[in-house]
Amino acid sequence: MLDVYEAVTSRRAVRGFTDQRVPREALERVLSAAAWAPSGSNLQPWHVYVLTGAPLAELKKRAGERLAAGDPWDEREYEMYPSDLKSPYRERRSAFGKERYGALGIRREDWEARQRAASANWDCYGAPAALFCYIDKDLGPPQWADVGMYLQTVMLLLRAEGLHSCPQMAWAKYHRTVAEILSPPDGLILYCGMSIGYEDDTVSYARTCRAPLDETVMFVGGQARRSHAA
């Protein structure tokens, strides 16, 4: 069994899956354990649908058809990013773009190639299973954060089953097509999808970097680290 550190460091957004079936029992184990994720006042504000087999194939087909037809995205149910992303987030986003598309040999100015690579989102990068996570539209930022904790818990538990994942806000752009397949009750917003499966290790990727610890974390009080105390 993976220890928690290994689960955390081996999780990454995998963008190439084999078609090997994901056992239903593994998904049930993961989602039963993930239900223990924390949430403010234990609201458990996640609404999750797991899709495999024919319904997932149908969703991919419909999304692919919309993409091929150049259909506009559905109206937004939430803002994914501020329109004017400020520093240091802007620089981090552009570093991510370089890492992601650089690994595929795509140049920064090659917009079409980037779009082609991004279109694999709506094929779930080949994954045979996917999860769709909704949140009640009346809930606010603290509950969205709860959902984030829940989804990370799911992704870490998937590692313990030898599975990989890719969380995908991209699916929110086609939330109407997802709703055609899932028929969620009124009043829910599709936060994201998540592709789930076994990694296709023939697909090249670059490991994303992280900001140095002292850029995002401040230790206040306690013992100073030796290197800093000198």
Ligand X SMILES: Cc1cc2nc3c(=O)[nH]c(=O)nc-3n(C[C@H](O)[C@H](O)[C@H](O)COP(=O)(O)O)c2cc1C
* Residue numbers at the binding site for ligand X (CB under 6 A): 12-13, 15, 96, 121, 166-170, 192, 208
Cβ proximity to ligand X: between 148 and 220 the closer is 148
Eight-state DSSP code of residue 78? S
Q: Which is nearer to ligand X, 44 or 119 (CB)?
A: 119
Nearer to ligand X, 25 or 75 (CB): 75
CB 81 → ligand X: shortest distance, Å?
10
Q: How far is the CB of 70 from ligand X (least distance, A)?
A: 19
What is each CA distance from 170 to 41, 59, 73, 142, in whole angstroms?
Answer: 30, 14, 10, 22
Write out 213-226 in H/E/C secondary structure: HHHHCCCCCCCCCH
Q: C-beta of 224: minimal distance to ligand X in Å?
A: 30
**DSSP state for residue 103 in the 8-state scheme:** H
Nearest distance from C-beta of residue 169 to ligand X, angstroms: 4
Which CB sits closer to ligand X, 13 or 31? 13
Of 118, 33, 101, 14, whose CA–CA distance to 93 is shortest? 101
Token match 């458990």: residue?
A: 44
Nearer residue to ligand X within complex by CB, 210 or 226: 210
Give me the DSSP letters along 68-128.
HTTPPPPPPSS-SS-SSPPTTHHHHHHHHHHHHHHHTT--TT-HHHHHHHHHGGGGGGG-S
Cα-to-chain-centroid distance, residue 141: 18
CB of 155 to ligand X, least distance (A): 9
